[in-house]
Structure 1
């Protein structure tokens, strides 16, 4: 296919996993009715963002793949003839858990999965406590719509991840995300952070000549330990084209479904006029494999 109608579902969650999943499915069906054939859900879409604190009890939220969530979404994908990108807290084995994006194809089969590679460990985002880094590398997932370069949240800041996906034939870059403001930061600092988040991803689109789909959560989620002021997730999910042009964007303060028509054939044209891949000096990039050039 050369054209895709993509939808991003930005939602505010509660502690009720089943209710969150039902809400996601309701919005998926609306998007499909409006013509979407690719639907992307936000990071950890069936639960609250539990990584604000470190608690072994939260491991009970994890599930296997296939499991309850993927089976439910597989049925939806098959019945609607769409591709769904879903984000799961995966229990891979005893003591091994991942932050995993699962891609369900139009026939309901699992086309592939991507286990988050870059794991943050910052105040309010204690993901290293929960998630083992992925071991599958940066490989696009082949679907009936094309090759999807699926990454997850913190991955979105790393140009190497986007580049490797593009070099492996990805036709889209997709980022399920959970990012927000510290309510105690100033308005200026909050705006700088949000702008940086958008700029870096639009930069990946430009540098690789690929559309980017970033699906964030929205709403306030309290820190159950009361050690912090919680997180105000800033929404602003967006779809941009291969020159970084915004095709659709959600608000910062409410749930929303945004949609855009994406012309995959534009990548060829953009890479002809901006031939970054042609001019890459791979003979001088070996130091990128070092942690730091002392």
Structure 2
């Protein structure tokens, strides 16, 4: 039997006005819902500019509690529209402890919980270790009205271990809210190579785990970075079902048939043939020869 779920991707640019960004996201959520979306994913840190391009203490004022003002506003929208909303936010946990966190709101507006980003980068233009404490909730799945979903965040998308564990926990779709882009000084060859690597690693998670992958990135130029958009959906064998542009805001609804997971996993039984008795060394930082 088929199990169809319509996922909505909201790829947008942001401003320095937090309320303006939230209001804009709500307009685009409504557009996705009007188009038939059941589960709608927003990009990473959608209520602000990507502030991690610099180490600036004033930026901590952008953080909020979760649940908090943004989740309360979005909860009303999700209940009104009967849609699941995946919302990436800057979380203030307590004084001096902040996280890069995604909240999940069910189709009746219920707050299902949150996932805190586990892998925190620190690169030129992406100084996230200055702001974010690594997640301590572990990997998470959320049983929504329409599907059991797994949520990972941006830098997590480079780690097959995160995708594997979340899939083993029962995720039927992996969602990746993202903020990634090119430095303005880079040449087109480097840009193409970087984007292809980013998409390829996530498509590989789809193949290895037999699940759909949905990645939602921002667009626009901010502080020397051109966020490359390119949001996409891959099926359980890595086929790209949809890919957004690199330059424009887009709202897209993609129909997924979650029943295909069983077919792919049966015909290409990677899950069956895992040698879990041989993987102990994966927990080491590096395996030195002796």
TM-score past 0.5 threshold: yes
Q: How does 1:66-85 map to 2 (within 5 A)?
A: 66-85=67-86
Q: How does 1:168-247 map to 2 (within 5 A)?
A: 168-222=169-223, 230-247=224-241
Instruction: Look up the match of 1:286.
Output: 280
Q: Does 1:30 align with 2:31?
A: yes
C-alpha distance in 2 between matches for 1:74 and 1:46: 15
Instruction: Look up the match of 2:260.
Output: 266
Tell me which stretches of 4 or more aligned residues in structure 1 moved more than 4 Å.
none
C-alpha distance in 2 between matches for 1:66 and 1:289: 33
- Equivalent residue of 2:165, what SS? helix
The Cα shift of 1:221 comes to 0.4
Q: How does 1:107-186 map to 2 (within 5 A)?
A: 107-186=108-187
Gaps of 5+ in 2: none
Instruction: Look up the match of 1:275.
Output: 269
- Equivalent residue of 2:241, what SS? strand
The Cα shift of 1:139 comes to 2.2
Instruction: Look up the match of 1:226.
Output: none
Contact 2:5–2:147 (Cα < 8 Å) also in 1? no
C-alpha distance in 2 between matches for 1:45 and 1:200: 23
RMSD, matched Cα: 0.9
The Cα shift of 1:146 comes to 2.0
C-alpha distance in 2 between matches for 1:141 and 1:93: 24
TM (norm. structure 2) is 0.98
Number of aligned residue pairs: give it.
287
C-alpha distance in 2 between matches for 1:145 and 1:90: 26
Q: How does 1:13-24 map to 2 (within 5 A)?
A: 13-24=14-25
TM (norm. structure 1) is 0.96
The Cα shift of 1:249 comes to 1.4
